[in-house]
Amino acid sequence: MSKVAIYLNFQGNTEEAFHFYKSVFATEFSAPIMRIGDLPREPNSPSFSEADLNCIMHVALPIIGGTELMGTDMLESMGQQLVVGNNTTISLQLDSKDEADYLYKALSEGGSDKAPLRDEFWGYWGCCLDQFGIRWMFNVMNDQYKR
């Protein structure tokens, strides 16, 4: 069966972000969190610092409607740099205004760049940038616009 997963990159705070998302969506990780230090050592693999070994290699968390968030820490030691901006938006198609209100309130806490939830011609809509720089959009579609 096909499904959608959204992969997010963080600069060293993946674990903090995913524990936050876990509390918001009240779900459990799909598998144990994998750290760089959990990787099998290959003879020609790069050597990592102690700090890098504790970084997140992969984490997965189911959220709404079969969608899964996945994430990793980018490693500065490998030349990886995170650019936070509006290049990632997670659009949540929700069933009720109450659900949208709850998720918007929780995810916008400590965030910025907010478009408060409001009625639009197609439904109930809002958007925010959370405290980790991830953009979230919320939609509760009117019956005539549901597909």
Task: Give me the residue spans of the domains in the chain.
Answer: 1-82, 84-147
Q: Measured in whole angstroms, how far is the alpha carbon of residue 108 from the centre of its chain?
A: 13
Taking the whole predicted model, whether its pTM rises above 0.85 is answered as: no
Q: Is the pLDDT of residue 23 over 70?
A: yes
- Residue 89 is predicted with a pLDDT of 80
pLDDT tens digit string along 108-142?
A: 999 987 899 999 988 999 999 999 988 898 999 88
Q: Let me know: does 99 contact 36? Beta carbons within 8 Å.
A: no
CATH of domain 1-82: 3.10.180.10
Q: What separation in angstroms does the CA of 104 have from each of 91, 112, 116?
A: 12, 12, 8
pLDDT tens digit string along 27-46?
A: 999 989 999 999 888 888 77
3-state helix, strand, coil in the chain (%, to 5): 25, 35, 40
CATH of domain 84-147: 3.30.720.110
Q: Let me know: does 43 contact 105? Beta carbons within 8 Å.
A: no
Average pLDDT score, the chain: 88
